[in-house]
Structure 1
Amino acid sequence: MVETQGYTCQEHKRRLHPRLAQNSEGTAANKTPNKQLPVLLQHGLLMDASAWLLNPPDQALAFILADNGFDVWLANTRGTNSSRGHTLLTPNDPAYWDWSWDELAAYDLPALFEYVNNQTGQKLHYVGHSLGTLTALAAFSQENLLNLLRSAALLGPVAYLGQMSSLFLRILMNIFLAETQQLVKFICKTPGVDCSDLLATITGPNCCLSSAGKATLFKNFPQSTATKNMIHLSQMVRMGTLEMYDYGLEDANMEHYKQPTPPVYNMANIPKDVPLFLSYGGRDAISDVNDGGLLLDNLKDHDKDKLVVEYREDYAHLDFIMSVNANQLVYNPILAFFKLH
């Protein structure tokens, strides 16, 4: 998808080990930095790195960043078709899927940051969408990644999900199935679910998606994720909480956490000087504006010159990565924000 648009592209395959993520020091201290500043783009749930490449180069964020002189890195979350290179397990092994977004925040994202930093000799800018915002916010709240971070732009930010209005996703999460292709047909027969426009049913009524962009999206959507990940997200929806995975029994939680209930991710613990750009949509059925308000309440003491909040009244969840006018309305402000940091 990159090369057909006339851009150059390298593929990096990284074998990750959890201990890599526990190294809090930068790994590129002796490396000569590149002139181009790296930007890591992290996609959302049921998507892959193609999420940033769905529109023509003048409309897709990955190409726009490259055209503005950035070194663009696109990550594929574990479990997606492009990220199944486990050295010991296959996708047929139950242990392969024994993870939720806790592990993405604790291990995968730090390892990605360290890898890009090691390759480039530079601290990173970060762009996350949907689940890619949740994992970053969770890591930031534990003061992880910050030694390698320049700034973070979070699109359709997810911290709380208790007021999510997408009936489709509520059903999906309550059934706890991660292989979604057949499940879509089942949910679309449910009373109250209108699948004549499946994307609007899932994400809210997006304002400005092109038919070509939607056609490209469905070549790679939906991707697989872990059932445990869906259960964890459903716990957030049903309980309105922002906690680590709840194993359901006090004894099981004690075994994993040394306490009877899961530890909380406290958004107020995000250091006040971390440069954050948050962009919300008024029609977003996943990142509901009321849930977004809870996140902003937790950030009320953030340094005012380090927090930019943008509200797009007519945007739903996919507009942030697929809208034909996001280049002017969202990406130009992100570029300006990155240049400040």
Structure 2
Amino acid sequence: MFSKTDVLLFFSLFYLLNANSAKLDIVRQFKILKGYPLDSQLNFTELATEYGYTAEEHVVTTEDGYILTIFRIVRGRNCQGPLRKPPVLLMHGLFMSSDLWMDSGPGAGLAYLISDECYDLWAGNVRGNYYSKRHTNLNPNTIEFWNFTVQEMGRYDVPAMIDYITNYTSSETINYVGYSQGGCIYLVMCSEQQSYCEKVEVAILIAPGSRLTYTKSIPFRVLTDIYEISAPFLIEIGIYQALPWGGIVQQLASFICKDNETADTTCRDVLDKLDSPHPDSIETETIRVLFGHFPAGTSIKSMLWYNQALNVDDFQKFDYGPVINAEVYNSTTPPSYNLSATTNPTVVISGRNDFLSVPPDNEWLVNQLPNVIEHVVVEDPLWNHFDVPWSKLTSKDILPKITDYLYRYSKPGRG
């Protein structure tokens, strides 16, 4: 399937990319010459520019010192009227970054589509992905930098973004759209810092990750088990992050999936196995592009939390074991997150065929939250987890509900 030249090229590119970041542009141009799709090599602002959108890059520093990169599309290319207020914060899922909202192009990517509806669109990046691997004091090569889970993302990252956006735009509130882990960390924030929850007019949680008891994805369960088993060894040899962008898995996936044939067969099959099949939903070109940005990395400790979440009938904090739990939590067992603290209007959008955020867990979450104004189950019976960022059907299947509720909780702003 691959020639000896192709294999040598891949390992040469992998070496160059990891040997010296200053060579990134050279490597990128070389990759494009070898058939990698252009969009797979572009970052958020470059993708926006390519399609006639204007994007800004902003830097946010959290209370505990993590330096996060977030992006803004001030006005969509197709926005003809005045912008609506408040701003909208769009948050990605596990192993993802803000780029996932661009991978399927202007006709389907939610960053494009929401900004086209005249919303001031911000796309966040949590600590640990390739846009947010800096700290005011900690070295990213140390275990201290990677000592985080969804707890810290919700406790520090989202509040820092809300503070920055509201200060920068002189808006008292925002609207929040969180996908998968992006929904999970919103719930953590409300539990840990309810005052920030009150700064959100409406929260739209799409395939939200909270309780994961009935997750049907066997590969995801196996992956978290592997990290659970191998974590002591990996930490011993100085590996603290899971599936980083630029790592061997991402680089190999990007290399294999750059070609139409393998993208439409091997790479599509990988996505189907991780989630569930949905024929004719994700374009082959989108698959070629997305593996240039995915996986984007997280901490090994985060993977240990996900392994725990898959094996308990609850949505709870990290389990350190009875002894350390007693020191950290004053209890031998980790406490549950306080879902009753999410008191602002909340919309949950889910799919029947989602193997990661499955219907029983979504129903459980809806029953725990005190102010769910609607639980939207997508009409398409095959709608799944990866359809949210990458399906060509987003403008038909989920955008109308998203913009409906954004409209209800927004008002016209400047022209």
The alignment's TM-score, normalised by the length of structure 2, stands at: 0.71
Shift of the alpha carbon at 1:289? 0.9
> Which residue of structure 1 lines up, in the alignment, with residue 184 of structure 2?
134
Shift of the alpha carbon at 1:141? 3.7
Structure-2 separation of matches of 1:212 and 1:196: 11
Alpha-carbon contact 2:65-2:135 (below 8 Å) kept: no
> Which residue of structure 1 lines up, in the alignment, with residue 293 of structure 2?
220
Alpha-carbon contact 1:235-1:241 (below 8 Å) kept: no
Shift of the alpha carbon at 1:280? 0.8
Shift of the alpha carbon at 1:203? 2.0
Q: Cα gap change, 1:269/1:179 in structure 2, threshold over 3 Å: closer, same or farther?
A: closer
Alpha-carbon contact 1:206-1:317 (below 8 Å) kept: no
Is 1:17 aligned with 2:63?
yes
Q: Cα gap change, 1:14/1:4 in structure 2, threshold over 3 Å: closer, same or farther?
A: same
Alpha-carbon contact 2:339-2:368 (below 8 Å) kept: yes
Q: Cα gap change, 1:72/1:195 in structure 2, threshold over 3 Å: closer, same or farther?
A: closer
Structure-1 separation of matches of 2:363 and 2:188: 17
Q: Which residue of 211, 214, 217 maps to 1:163?
A: 214
For residues 66-215 of structure 1, the aligned pairs below 5 Å read 66-122=115-171, 123-142=173-192, 143-176=194-227, 178-180=241-243, 197-207=269-279, 208-215=281-288
Shift of the alpha carbon at 1:55? 1.7
1:145-177 C-alpha deviation (Å, 9 max, x unpaired)? 223111111111111101111111101111226
Amino acid at match of 1:214: I
Structure-1 separation of matches of 2:135 and 2:301: 18
Q: Cα gap change, 1:117/1:316 in structure 2, threshold over 3 Å: closer, same or farther?
A: same
Shift of the alpha carbon at 1:295? 1.0
> Which residue of structure 2 lines up, in the alignment, with residue 317 of structure 1?
385
Is 1:241 aligned with 2:332?
no
1:180-224 C-alpha deviation (Å, 9 max, x unpaired)? 365799xxxxxxxx9771111112224411111111110011111
Q: Which residue of 354, 376, 379 maps to 1:284?
A: 354
> Which residue of structure 1 lines up, in the alignment, with residue 329 of structure 2?
257
Shift of the alpha carbon at 1:17? 2.0
Larger radius of gyration: 2
Shift of the alpha carbon at 1:39? 0.7
Shift of the alpha carbon at 1:73? 0.7
The alignment's TM-score, normalised by the length of structure 1, stands at: 0.86
Shift of the alpha carbon at 1:268? 3.5
Alpha-carbon contact 1:257-1:263 (below 8 Å) kept: yes
Shift of the alpha carbon at 1:307? 3.0
Shift of the alpha carbon at 1:35? 5.8
Structure-1 separation of matches of 2:271 and 2:93: 14
Amino acid at match of 1:93: T
How much is the aligned-residue C-alpha RMSD, in angstroms?
A: 2.2
Is 1:42 aligned with 2:91?
yes
Structure-2 separation of matches of 1:295 and 1:144: 21
> Which residue of structure 2 lines up, in the alignment, with residue 27 of structure 1?
none
Shift of the alpha carbon at 1:36? 4.5
Tell me the SS of whatever aligns to 1:297. Answer: helix
Structure-1 separation of matches of 2:57 and 2:248: 31
Q: Cα gap change, 1:144/1:233 in structure 2, threshold over 3 Å: closer, same or farther?
A: farther
Amino acid at match of 1:53: M
Shift of the alpha carbon at 1:118? 0.8
Structure-2 separation of matches of 1:42 and 1:293: 22
Q: Which has the higher strand share?
A: 2
Structure-2 separation of matches of 1:225 and 1:330: 27
Is 1:54 aligned with 2:87?
no
> Which residue of structure 1 lines up, in the alignment, with residue 403 of structure 2?
335
Any unmatched runs of 5+ in structure 1?
A: 21-33, 186-193
> Which residue of structure 2 lines up, in the alignment, with residue 275 of structure 1?
345
Q: Cα gap change, 1:267/1:44 in structure 2, threshold over 3 Å: closer, same or farther?
A: same
Alpha-carbon contact 2:366-2:375 (below 8 Å) kept: no
Amino acid at match of 1:335: T
Alpha-carbon contact 2:108-2:392 (below 8 Å) kept: yes
Structure-2 separation of matches of 1:243 and 1:340: 32
Structure-1 separation of matches of 2:293 and 2:160: 25
Amino acid at match of 2:183: T
Any unmatched runs of 5+ in structure 2?
A: 1-46, 67-82, 232-240, 253-265, 410-415
Task: Give aligned-pair identity as a percent.
Answer: 28
Structure-2 separation of matches of 1:159 and 1:41: 18
Tell me the SS of whatever aligns to 1:154. Answer: strand
For residues 293-308 of structure 1, the aligned pairs below 5 Å read 293-299=363-369, 302=371, 306-308=373-375
Farther off after superposition, 105-114 or 83-92: 83-92
